[in-house]
């Protein structure tokens, strides 16, 4: 009975949040079909390992972790992502562009390196606690805090650029 209950909770959770998972996957792939495939794969993986879920309260961060890992694996397999450490990230951070028009949040987010974009999406769009973001990304809390700080600084630069023209 217990397993059936968890499975029911999972199915309800997926139905209620499908679009959010799709947007999260899309933020990695920038491709509709790939994002849909990632969500499908994630649901399959989750159903197969549902028995490892300790308690229902952890369902959200547990499943987000699966989606994030699946998206990253997909990008690695397709050679579309190098996983970088913070020093490399700082080096590759977008420099101010001379022509930057029609800046909105989506465009600005797209300019962020993946590791910065993912913390902003998980923290602010998915409204997860910093501890949960750290758990999902297998990174310590201080690293997440520093990435959020740097990401917000970069976003602020991008979003205020248009006010200067």
pTM given for the model: 0.69
Q: What is the pLDDT of residues 58-102, one digit of tens each?
A: 888 899 999 999 998 888 788 665 555 555 455 444 443 333 333
Judge if 51 and 100 occupy the same domain. no
Of the residues 26, 58, 77, which one is the last residue of a structural domain? 77
The answer to whether 82 and 150 are in contact (CB under 8 A) is: no
Q: What is the pLDDT of residues 15-26, one digit of tens each?
A: 999 888 998 898
Q: Give me the sign of the Cα torsion angle 98, 104, 108, 114.
A: negative
- Token pair recorded at residue 82: 């190098």
| pLDDT for 44 beyond 90 | yes
Rounded to whole angstroms, the Cα distance separating 114 from 147 reads 11
Domain that holds residue 65: 2-77
As a whole-number percent, the residues of the chain with pLDDT over 70 amount to: 78
pLDDT band at residue 133, thresholds of 50, 70 and 90? Answer: very high
Domain count across the chain: 2
């Amino acid at each position: 009975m217990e397993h059936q209950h968890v499975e029911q909770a999972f199915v309800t959770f997926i139905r209620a949040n499908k679009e959010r998972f799709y947007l999260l996957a899309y933020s990695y792939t920038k491709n509709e079909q790939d994002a849909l495939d990632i969500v499908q794969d994630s649901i399959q993986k989750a159903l197969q390992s549902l028995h490892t879920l300790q308690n229902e309260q952890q369902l959200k961060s547990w499943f987000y972790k699966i989606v994030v890992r699946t998206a990253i694996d997909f990008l690695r397999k397709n050679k579309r992502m190098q996983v970088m450490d913070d020093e490399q990230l700082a080096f590759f951070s977008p420099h101010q562009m001379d022509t930057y028009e029609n800046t909105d949040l989506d465009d600005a987010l797209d300019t962020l390196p993946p590791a910065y974009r993912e913390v902003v999406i998980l923290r602010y769009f998915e409204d997860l606690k910093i501890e949960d973001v750290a758990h999902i990304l297998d990174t310590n809390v201080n690293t997440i805090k520093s990435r959020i700080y740097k990401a917000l600084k970069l976003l602020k630069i991008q979003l205020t650029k248009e006010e200067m023209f």
